[in-house]
Amino acid sequence: MKDKLLLITGGSQGIGKAIVLEAINAGYKVAFTYNSNKDEALAFLDEIGDKEVEAFQFTLGKRDNVKRLLLDIEKRFGQFPSYLVNNAAILIQKDFETISDEEWDLVLNTNLTGVFQIVQELIVDMKKNNFGRIVNISSIGGQVGGNLAVHYATTKAGLISFSKSMAKIYSKYNVLTNCIAPGLVNTKMIEKELDSDAGKEKLKTIPVGKITEPEEIANLVLFLLSEKNTTMTGQTVNINGGMYFG
């Protein structure tokens, strides 16, 4: 396990935090990023204790930021990650007609362009080593569209196609890329939505009768990263309580 270094973007809260904890328990070394809340990230590190884990401030969507992040990770761990979970995302809920160009660009740069840049920077090393595991966190919104977050849904649909493309190109190098599409997950991101009348109505439509917990997503991620998975690639795995069966 000494060479199993995992990079998780957006790892200080929600789904990302659950993935960090599960990965550490499984013996991975972990580098996780946070955007701006340094105190939250440091508190999480204190909670974890004496493990091979480090937090890095990182803003998605700029190539220079990616290069700096990977150099910092190499300096800290002595290697580049061969396991990658693209989890960080931004959700701005607005009526389509009120979305500005700036908001559109921000969401696309964070949720999609940032993923493209990280993967492109790491894929050469993965290809050379004939090994890599990539998991991209999409959303049910990328499968069925969005009412109040068209730009968010668009990026999540893009991640699904991007994952298929990476699998087609790089699976022959033992670099497996998969996508996970959660429905409603019990995180801060959807608190506002669930408090609304529309959100409460949406809860009633979930066949299993409850929303998904972050730990369930984390367990699925860990399987896709693990040695138990040698042929699953290019797939989008739904975990949504039965909200969508596509």
How many other CB atoms are found less than 10 A from the CB of residue 132?
A: 24
Q: How far is Cα 162 from Cα 19, in angstroms, rounded to an integer?
A: 22
First-residue to last-residue Cα distance in the chain: 36
Residues 6+ apart with CB under 8 A from 200: 194
Q: Which of 152, 170, 173, 244 is catalytic?
A: 152
Question: Is 166 exposed, middle or buried (CB count within 10 Å of its CB: 0-12, 13-18, 19+)?
Answer: buried
Q: 152 an active-site residue? A: yes
Q: Which amino acid is at 228?
A: K
Catalytic site residues? 152
